């Protein structure tokens, strides 16, 4: 839809689920979403359908603060740096409450965990070619354009310090004009681990010369490992991460919680919620984020669809002597959930599914006699849907821990504790 005549003056009344200011108004009396605005503000906007491009803040909210990042507003990585912390965090918690209310669920809310600045150990950085080299950054707001970044206040300072080396590393992966590399960067105990995706491969993939250039850049940048969609390009040290009492060799591209402090808070809340259960399952376990912590006091059946993750988990058991038995299995829990007769041997279950949730597995738990469930979720909507299934089977949602792991984004995570 073409832009309408304007500008229009509108009053922002709320913040929408994607972090944009929201008002009902405009020429059609319809919802209008205006990025970078806050409730209580009067702003001048140019309208484009239901989107408003901010032109001027006519009356600012008392909750407006100066964004800490010079790239804010252009970079699409953060949406809410301009909001004071207390109302920002309260809004995130309210998104969980709203999702639960849609499924007629109420519960006690624990004090939310809030990730501090400088705590992200994982970033997905896009790369683009420029004359003489490459630049890295995030997608610009509402655009496919790259917003080049020099600093990032959400990221671990060691990642930020590596930005120049990562830009050098990116250049060989731009060999083909159709390549649009993304560098999935993780800071580990043994150094930087980088898995690159988005490289054109139908024309033959990366040439031998480009691989050599990438390896040289990785060595110069003192990186531990560089892989291309999981295939090793350079490795001098195995990337290692500490998960509770165990040290795990991280497979290329493996899932890892973005903030170590958030990982610890979620694990502590989940384990406490199992109430001392001594036989448990850790489903969608990944490389063992919760498995090893659980195994300090309970035998654990650990399942995940990634064979590489299960192999890494199994290999890491020897690094933590004294654990209770861990039975690790490669298993697609959507197509082949753990069934009632298997759950009969268990007292508690931890679930940490992807954004789509765990409807099939939840249905099996609902039909079982498992007494306690700790459900870790990155999507309040699918969590609430699955929680309804458990509630209808006689479970009570005792309490929820909201987890703000992705600082200044609209995303909120949670851990819910259920009991019969």
Token pair 């496919």 is found at: 144
Per-residue tokens: 110: 């624990």
**pLDDT tens across 219-230, in order?**
999 999 999 999
Q: 29 falls in which pLDDT band (50, 70, 90)?
A: confident
Q: Which residues of 144-161 are buried (b: 16+ CB within 10 A; e: fewer)?
A: eebbbbeebbbbbeebbe
pLDDT at 27 exceeding the cut of 80: no
Report d(CA 420, CA 412) in Å as an integer. Answer: 26
Q: 263 and 399: one domain?
A: yes
Residue 5: its pLDDT value, please? 59
Assigned domain for 268 exists = yes
Residue 2: its pLDDT value, please? 46
Assigned domain for 71 exists = no
**pLDDT tens across 84-94, in order?**
999 999 999 99
Q: 141 and 98: one domain?
A: no
**pLDDT tens across 178-232, in order?**
999 999 999 999 999 999 999 988 877 899 999 999 999 999 999 999 999 999 9
Q: 285 and 153: one domain?
A: no
The CATH number linked to 274 is 3.40.50.150
Q: Count of domains in the chain?
A: 3
Assigned domain for 146 exists = yes
Which residue in 69, 75, 152, 378 is the catalytic one? Answer: 378
Q: 42 and 105: one domain?
A: no
| Contact indicator for 267, 293 with CB cutoff of 8 Å | yes
Please tell me the least confidently modeled range out of 1-5, 85-89, 333-337: 1-5
Residue 349's nearest CA partner among 409, 252, 250, 418 is 418
Q: 103 and 126: one domain?
A: no
Sign (positive or negative) of CA dihedral 353, 360, 356, 381: negative
Please tell me the least confidently modeled range out of 47-51, 111-115, 196-200: 47-51
Token pair 């295939």 is found at: 231
The CATH number linked to 192 is 2.40.50.1070
pLDDT at 78 exceeding the cut of 60: yes
Residue 327 structural domain: 87-115+259-419
Token pair 């681990």 is found at: 193
Residue 221: its pLDDT value, please? 97
Assigned domain for 3 exists = no
Percent above pLDDT 70 for the chain: 98
Assigned domain for 110 exists = yes
Residue 378 appears among annotated catalytic residues? yes
Q: Mean pLDDT across the stretch 51-56? A: 91
Q: Is the pTM of this model over 0.85?
A: yes
The CATH number linked to 52 is 2.40.50.140
Q: Mean pLDDT across the stretch 345-363? A: 97
Q: Mean pLDDT across the stretch 273-298? A: 97
Q: 136 falls in which pLDDT band (50, 70, 90)?
A: very high
**pLDDT tens across 383-416, in order?**
999 999 999 999 999 999 999 999 999 999 999 9
Residue 203: its pLDDT value, please? 76
Residue 407's nearest CA partner among 89, 185, 104 is 89
Count of alpha carbons within 13 angstroms of residue 220, beta-carbon side: 13
pLDDT at 234 exceeding the cut of 50: yes
Q: 229 and 356: one domain?
A: no
Token pair 């039909």 is found at: 367
Residue 1: its pLDDT value, please? 40
Report d(CA 340, CA 356) in Å as an integer. Answer: 22
Tell me whether strands 191-197 and 182-188 are parallel, antiparallel or unpaired.
Answer: antiparallel
Q: Would you tell me how many other CB atoms lie within 10 Å of the CB of residue 246?
A: 23
Q: 284 and 369: one domain?
A: yes
| Contact indicator for 402, 93 with CB cutoff of 8 Å | yes
Q: Determine phi and psi for 398, rounding to 5 degrees.
A: -70, -50
Of 25 and 31, which is predicted with more confidence?
31
The rounded mean pLDDT for the chain is 95
Q: 93 and 191: one domain?
A: no
Strand order in the sheet with 8-11: 8-11, 42-48, 51-59, 30-34, 21-25, 14-15
pLDDT at 143 exceeding the cut of 90: no
Residue 15's nearest CA partner among 90, 114, 69, 100 is 90
3-state SS class at 146: strand
Assigned domain for 249 exists = no
Assigned domain for 183 exists = yes
Residue 201: its pLDDT value, please? 84
pLDDT at 38 exceeding the cut of 80: yes
pLDDT at 365 exceeding the cut of 50: yes
Q: 382 and 415: one domain?
A: yes
| Contact indicator for 251, 232 with CB cutoff of 8 Å | no
pLDDT at 258 exceeding the cut of 80: yes
Q: 102 falls in which pLDDT band (50, 70, 90)?
A: very high
Residue 3: its pLDDT value, please? 53
Q: 175 and 236: one domain?
A: yes
Per-residue tokens: 204: 């033959």
| Contact indicator for 384, 378 with CB cutoff of 8 Å | no
Q: Would you tell me how many other CB atoms lie within 10 Å of the CB of residue 317?
A: 18
Q: 308 and 207: one domain?
A: no
Report d(CA 108, CA 65) in Å as an integer. Answer: 30
Assigned domain for 246 exists = no
Q: Mean pLDDT across the stretch 51-71? A: 95
Q: 49 and 138: one domain?
A: no
Report d(CA 31, CA 399) in Å as an integer. Answer: 33
């Amino acid at each position: 839809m073409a832009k309408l005549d304007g500008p229009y003056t509108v009053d922002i009344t709320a913040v929408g689920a994607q972090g944009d200011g929201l008002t009902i108004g405009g020429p059609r009396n319809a919802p209008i979403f205006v990025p970078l605005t806050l409730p209580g503000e009067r702003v001048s906007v140019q309208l484009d359908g239901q989107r408003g491009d901010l032109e001027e803040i006519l009356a600012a909210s008392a909750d407006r603060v100066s964004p800490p990042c010079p790239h804010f507003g252009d970079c699409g990585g953060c949406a809410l740096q301009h909001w004071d912390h207390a109302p920002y965090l309260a809004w995130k918690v309210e998104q969980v409450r709203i999702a639960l209310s849609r499924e007629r669920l109420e519960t006690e809310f624990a004090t939310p965990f809030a990730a501090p600045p400088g705590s992200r150990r994982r970033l997905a950085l896009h790369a683009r070619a420029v004359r003489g080299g490459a630049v890295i950054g995030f997608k610009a707001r509402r655009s496919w354009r790259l917003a080049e970044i020099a600093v990032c206040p959400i990221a671990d300072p060691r990642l930020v310090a590596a930005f120049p080396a990562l830009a050098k590393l990116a250049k060989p992966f731009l060999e083909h004009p159709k390549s649009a590399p993304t560098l999935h960067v993780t800071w580990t105990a043994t150094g930087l681990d980088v898995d690159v995706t988005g490289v054109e491969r139908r024309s033959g993939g990366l040439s031998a010369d480009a691989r050599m250039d990438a390896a040289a850049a990785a060595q110069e940048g003192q990186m531990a490992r560089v892989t291309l969609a999981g295939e090793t390009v350079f490795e001098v040290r195995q990337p290692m991460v500490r998960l509770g009492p165990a040290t795990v060799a991280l497979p290329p591209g493996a899932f890892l919680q973005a903030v170590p402090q958030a990982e610890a808070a979620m694990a502590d809340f989940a384990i406490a919620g199992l109430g001392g259960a001594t036989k448990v399952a850790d489903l969608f376990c990944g490389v063992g984020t919760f498995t090893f912590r659980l195994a300090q006091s309970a035998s654990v059946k650990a399942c995940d669809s990634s064979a590489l993750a299960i192999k890494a988990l199994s290999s890491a058991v020897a690094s933590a002597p004294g654990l209770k038995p861990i039975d690790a299995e490669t298993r697609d829990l959507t197509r082949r959930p753990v069934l009632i007769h298997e759950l009969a041997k268990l007292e508690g279950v931890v679930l940490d599914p992807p954004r789509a949730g765990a409807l099939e597995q939840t249905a099996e738990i609902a039909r079982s006699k498992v007494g306690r469930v700790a459900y870790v979720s990155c999507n309040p909507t699918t969590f609430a849907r699955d929680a309804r299934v458990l509630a209808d089977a006689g479970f009570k949602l005792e309490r929820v821990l909201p987890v703000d792991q992705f600082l200044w984004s609209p995303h909120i995570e949670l851990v819910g504790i259920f009991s019969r």
